[in-house]
Structure 1
Amino acid sequence: MEFFGRQNELARLGRWYSAAERGGGSPGQCLIIRGRRRVGKSRLIDEFVRGLDAPSVFFTASNLSASQELQNFTQAVLGSDLPDAASFGTAPTSWDNALRMLAQLLPADRPSVVVIDELPYLTRHVEGFEGSLQTVWDRIMSRKPVLLLLVGSDLSIMQALNTYERPFYQRGNPVLIEPLTVADVQEMADLSPAQAIDARLVTGGMPRLCLQWPRGANLERFLEQALADPADPFITSGELAIGGEFPADTFAPQVLSAIASGERTFTSTLADIDVSRMTLSRSLTKLAEKGIVAAETPLSVKPSRETRYRITDSYLRFWLHLLQPVLGMVQRGRGDRAARRILAGWPAWRGRAVEPLVRESLARLVPDEGADWSDPDAAVEVGGYWTRSNDVEIDLVGADRAPIAKRIGYLGSVKWHETAPLARKDFAALAAVAARVPGATEETPLIGVSRARSELGPWSAVYSAQELVNAWR
């Protein structure tokens, strides 16, 4: 399978490998790599390791007992290209013993790589694993030119690994693997900028789903192919994620379904599901810890408690709001009818779902170098602004910091219509409410973002799909 994108991630891994290769007093380097399932962590690391001229061992844990995991670890070391790997044939009697034996095998005169994938399984099932790893790392492994990669999909566990109370505190450097960027998706599927943004929203940037997108195809053609088979990963991945990634006490199916239509308040979410306030509060906290829900507040110079909740995975948001309701049609072999239903609701869904991607893109893009309208120090964070009654709702707020700014750099409007460019009425609507954003003034620049290329007109700056995609290059 062809490997696309990830040049920044490969370069980062390469820098840490070079640090181990250079040696020094304590040459060993450790990365704690986290990222949601399906995001391509293992494939990225495999691609990186295969490109090295270095001995390595790659072990992937499973949801097995400690003794079974130990047997699998032994086989992984025996099957590796580490020097003297055959000496591992004397089966270790414990995980502590296994880690010490592995550390002794690592060469002292050349760099090597050790990968322990799905680490959270070991921390759950192997008593004292983190303490053993810390001891072996401090006393043996870190003194050798090794790059140790600890990888896991449970974001909360992987983050906790590096907290003060845990044995491995400050031994590893945290790395978050994000989904593929919109620029990666464009390259993979040979799409126009606007089509690439559509594909990124629908697939969530998950590599397996991105690879299914026909080259040069629009959404309608993609759905025609994906909805023809009820077993297609595009259909099944959402259900598997909802049912398997989140603990039962998060009430993930109910809570995520309730907020899938857009950005929802606590009260409106509570009204849609049959759980108590305390249960919903705990659920949202856990889902936020796992990175699947974002709790956002209005960005301005004044604090606000008007929190809205958003699903961070746009594929899951698409699946819950547009695909899940038509699964029955797909199962009955009427993918064509399901596609028509999805396409009917697509423009309204996309208009809201594109806003987080626009904000992330502008955070990379603005201020323009040499632009006379922007303050380089007042536009490094991008959010939105709204009031409790929603009588004021502004898509884009650029500021010097978040969540409470000192200065507002610009306000903006996103109009993501299929072909219609920005209109003067869009500027007038934004200008009419701009002064109600705390920190904004009559001189605050107003910018526009449109799917279709638009004229500058009264705007301080205008951005199209092309500029948004280029921001990720």
Structure 2
Amino acid sequence: MDFYGRKRELAQLGKWYSAAERGPGQCLIVRGRRRVGKSRLIEEFVRGLDAPSMFFTASNLSAVQELENFTQAVLASDLPEADSFGEAPSSWDNALRLLAQLLPADRPSVVVLDELPYLTRHVEGFEGSLQTVWDRIMSRKPVLLLLVGSDLSIMEALNTYDRPFYQRGNPVLIEPLTVSDVQEMTGLPPAQAIDARLVTGGMPRLCVQWPRGANLEQFLGQALADPADPFITSGELAIGGEYPPDTHAPQVLSAIASGERTFSSILADLDISRMTLSRSLDKLAEKGAVAAELPLSTKPSKETRYRITDPYLRFWLHLLQPVLGMVQRGRGDRAVKRILTGWPAWRGRAVEPLVRESLARLVSDAEWADPESTLEAGGFWTRSNDVEIDLVGADRTPIAKRIGYLGSVKWHETAPIARKDFTALAAVAARVPGASDETPLIGVSRARSELGPWTAVYSAEDLVEAWR
């Protein structure tokens, strides 16, 4: 399978490898959601090095079984004298010490411990053993140690003050593929590449399923013809297996995906208590599944809205899950038609986070923009929703000191953004704390549009280019 994108991440890993090569040893704590391609990225990186390495992937097994598998991984590695590892060590502490002693002192090497959260959960004292071995032996050698995991909360906790490995590893977050990476993989024009990025969430395993040059309808037709296609099963696996039962993830995430984005509206859609929902949202946010967002302006607000961070999961819950019965009955063709009926409305809202992320990269370099007040991008809304503004650029979040621009997103299939959209935005711009009559107003649309009264207008092509 071809490897696309990840130039920035490969360069980052290369920088830390060079630092380890010069000494002392370096450790990276690599985290990222499941299916985001962490393991493949690291395999590709290690494959390009002329260095001995050991790659171990933990499973949800007992400490004894994990130790046996670890032993086999060391014996199968290309570390010098790996065969001297011998029989399974008596403990994880001994295993880590033996591994550290095998690492060469005269040339760089790489050690990868993948799915680390399984070890921290099942192996008592693992973090303390790792810290001791790192401090006394491993860090004194030219080694790059990569600790990799999908449980964001556990991986972040490794580097907190009260944990043994505090300040010994440098955190690295692996994000989904960018929209420019997706365009490279699919060969699609910019607007359709954005569609593909929304539907797949930028997850490599799903992006590689997209036939090169195929539009959304063609892709769905292929994917929904087979109930076992990863595009279908990945959502089921994520909902059923990635979140603890006490998060009530299937119910809570489904409510958010259907458009119930305030706490009260989510609660009204579910048969759980207020306290249970509060705990659920906190845990889902901790695991990176949900984002709690506030209106961006110069005044504080308590009008929190919740959003599913993974657009693929949002798509799966809102548009794909309701038609799974059709797919199972062999009527993927009907399922595609049903999805396409709801697609324009879903896409119009789902594209906004991608637009904001793109503008945060793009706008500060524009001639019209104040670089200091356009570093962040968000939205603005009131409790009654009588004012809702798609784009707010500012110097910081969630409470800005300066507002750099306001904007409107109109993501129609072919229609450009219109003068009436400018008039509507200008009529409510003064309702945003920190905005004034001089605040630039910008427009964003799927199709290229005339500048007209706008300070600037951006299209799908501009948004994709922002990620290059």
User: Where does 1:356-375 land on structure 2 (aligned, <5 Å)?
Assistant: 356-369=353-366, 371=367, 373-375=368-370
Residue of structure 1 in register with 2:292 after alignment: 295
Structure 1 stretches of at least 4 aligned residues deviating more than 4 Å after TM superposition: none
Check conservation: 2:260, 2:266, Cα contact below 8 A: no
- The amino acid that maps onto 2:437 is E
Work out the CA distance in 2 between the residues paired with 1:308 and 1:220. Answer: 31
Of 366, 372, 378, which aligns to 1:377? Answer: 372
Cα offset, 1:214, TM superposition: 1.1
Change (3 A) 1:144 1:297: same
1:452 shift after superposition: 0.4
Structure 2 equivalent of residue 454 of structure 1: 449
Residue 103 of structure 1, aligned match among 81, 100, 103: 100
Distance 1:245 1:352 in 2: 25
Write out per-residue CA displacement over residues 439-470 of structure 1, whole angstroms, 9 at most, x where no aligned residue. Answer: 00000000000000000000000000001001
Contact 1:103 1:136 in 2 (8 A): yes
Partner SS, residue 336 of structure 1:
helix
Cα-to-partner distance string for 1:59-84 (whole Å, 9 max, x where unaligned):
00001110110010001001100011
Which residue is 2:44 aligned to? Answer: 47
Q: Which residue of 2 aligns with 1:178?
A: 175
Which residues of 2 match residues 71-110 of structure 1 at below 5 A? 71-110=68-107
Deviation for aligned residue 1:299? 0.2
CA distance in 1, matches of 2:125, 2:209: 42
TM-superposition CA deviations, 1:112-136 (whole Å, max 9, x none): 0000000000000100000000000
Answering whether residue 9 of structure 2 is matched by residue 16 of structure 1, we say: no
Task: Answer whether contact 1:262 1:353 (CA < 8 A) is retained.
Answer: no
Number of residue pairs aligned between Structure 1 and Structure 2: 468
Q: Does 1:331 align with 2:342?
A: no
Report the residue type matching 1:15 in the other structure: K
Paired residue for 1:426, among 405, 412, 421?
A: 421
Query: How far apart in 2 are the matches of 1:367 and 1:108?
Result: 46
Contact 1:33 1:149 in 2 (8 A): yes
**Which amino acid in structure 2 is aligned with residue 127 of structure 1?**
E
Distance in 2 between residues matched to 1:375 and 1:3, nearest whole Å: 38
Q: Is the 8 A contact 2:67 2:88 kept in 1?
A: no
Matched, 1:225 2:208: no
Alignment RMSD:
0.6
Are residues 1:199 and 2:201 paired?
Answer: no
For residues 153 and 184 of structure 1, what CA distance do their matches in structure 2 show?
21
Partners in 2 of 1:74 and 1:403 — Cα distance? 48
Q: Distance in 2 between matches of 1:279 and 1:256?
A: 14
**Cα displacement (A) at 1:367:** 2.0
Distance 1:263 1:41 in 2: 32
Distance in 2 of aligned mates of 1:91 and 1:256? 44
Give CA deviations for 1:388-429 in whole Å, capped at 9, x if unaligned: 000000000000111000000000000000000010000000
Structure-2-length-normalised TM-score? 0.99
Amino acid at match of 2:355: V
Structure 1 vs Structure 2: percent identity of aligned residues?
87
Q: Contact conserved, 1:186 with 1:196, CA < 8 A, in 2?
A: yes
Q: Matches of 2:29 and 2:178 in 1, distance apart?
A: 21
Q: 1:304 aligns with which of 301, 307, 322?
A: 301
Q: Which amino acid aligns with 1:10?
A: L
Letter of the structure 2 residue corresponding to residue 393 of structure 1: E
Match of 1:322 among 319, 333, 341: 319
- C-alpha separation between the residues in 1 aligned to 2:359 and 2:259? 21
Conserved? CA contact 1:33–1:175, under 8 Å: yes
SS in 2 for 1:200: helix
In 1, the alpha carbon distance for the partners of 2:29 and 2:115 equals: 11
1:472 equivalenced with 2:444 (yes/no): no
TM-score by length of 1: 0.98
* Cα distance in structure 1, aligned partners of 2:142 and 2:309: 38
- Displacement of 1:86: 0.9
The runs of 5 or more residues in structure 1 that have no matched partner are: none
Question: How far apart, CA to CA, are the structure 2 residues paired with 1:237 and 1:470?
Answer: 29
Q: Does 1:397 align with 2:392?
A: yes
Structure 2 partner of 1:417: 412
